[in-house]
């Protein structure tokens, strides 16, 4: 079993899954306020953890299906226990090897894509899983422009791919996405980097054909 799976299995059992939800919910909620959910849509969360985003989106009246996938079996077990809507579905898999026949209108990933064996392969697969004009929203705190989070890889001692904002844009562009970036800051947070840098959100829009 790889280090990423082991770490997140452990986090699923020791309360860190709920801590991640608390840590990320402010900026994720702010970001979702910028997205229109007025037309019916299907949603996928890549690296869903305990499923909190999947549950949040499933409550949108125009959501037809809200799916979460995660490498950690124990995170998926947690997510299934917390499931409270028949629109929700959870799968224990990584995005690169997931064999799913459907396509999504919206794909989301918060603080999980840099754990992939290959970011390029993961983003290309996400591109394929989107419908034409579909959008991929990716939130990242661990990127080289944000000096305060660079040390996380040494602390965690697991595979974490560190890249700059520019490099992340290039990953998206190389997969075929039209790209926009935005920072969401948490101005009341005790952590200086959350106030000054915040979360980098990258939006990739798939072409129309």
Residue 22 or residue 88, greater confidence: 88
Instruction: Please give the model's pTM, rounded to 2 decimal places.
Output: 0.92
Higher pLDDT, 179 or 17: 179
pLDDT given for residue 104 in this prediction? 98
pLDDT at 115 over 70: yes
Asked if residue 149 has pLDDT above 60, the reply is yes
pLDDT digits (tens, 9 = 90+) for 158-203: 888 999 999 999 999 999 999 999 988 766 767 766 676 778 999 9
Q: Go through the domains of the chain in sequence order and give each one's CATH number.
A: 3-12+40-205 (3.40.50.150)
Q: How far is CA 14 from the centre of its chain?
A: 21
* Exposure letters 143-169 (e unless 16+ CB within 10 A, then b): beebeebeeeeeeeeeebbebebeebb
**Confidence (pLDDT) at 15:** 76
Distance CA 195, CA 191 (A): 7
Q: What is the mean pLDDT of the chain?
A: 89
- 3 pLDDT exceeds 90? no
Is the model's pLDDT at 1 over the cut of 50?
Answer: no
């Amino acid at each position: 079993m790889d280090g990423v799976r082991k770490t997140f299995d452990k986090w699923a059992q020791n309360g860190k899954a709920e801590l991640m939800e608390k840590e990320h919910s402010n900026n994720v909620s702010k970001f979702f306020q910028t997205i229109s959910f007025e037309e019916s849509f299907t949603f996928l969360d890549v690296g869903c953890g305990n499923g909190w985003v999947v549950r949040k989106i499933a409550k949108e009246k125009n959501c037809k299906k809200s799916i979460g996938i995660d490498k950690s079996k124990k995170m998926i077990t947690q997510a299934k226990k917390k499931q409270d809507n028949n629109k929700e579905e959870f799968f224990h898999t990584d995005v690169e090897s997931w064999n799913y026949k459907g396509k999504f209108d919206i794909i989301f990933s918060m603080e999980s894509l840099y754990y992939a064996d290959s970011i390029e392969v993961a983003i290309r697969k996400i591109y394929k899983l989107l419908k034409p004009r579909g959008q991929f929203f990716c939130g990242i705190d661990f990127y080289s422009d944000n000096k305060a989070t660079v040390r996380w890889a040494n602390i965690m001692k697991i595979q974490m791919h560190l890249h700059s904002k520019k490099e992340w844009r290039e990953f998206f562009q190389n997969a075929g996405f039209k790209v926009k970036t935005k920072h969401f800051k948490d101005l009341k947070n005790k952590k200086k980097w959350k106030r000054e840098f915040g979360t980098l959100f990258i939006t990739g829009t798939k072409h129309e054909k």
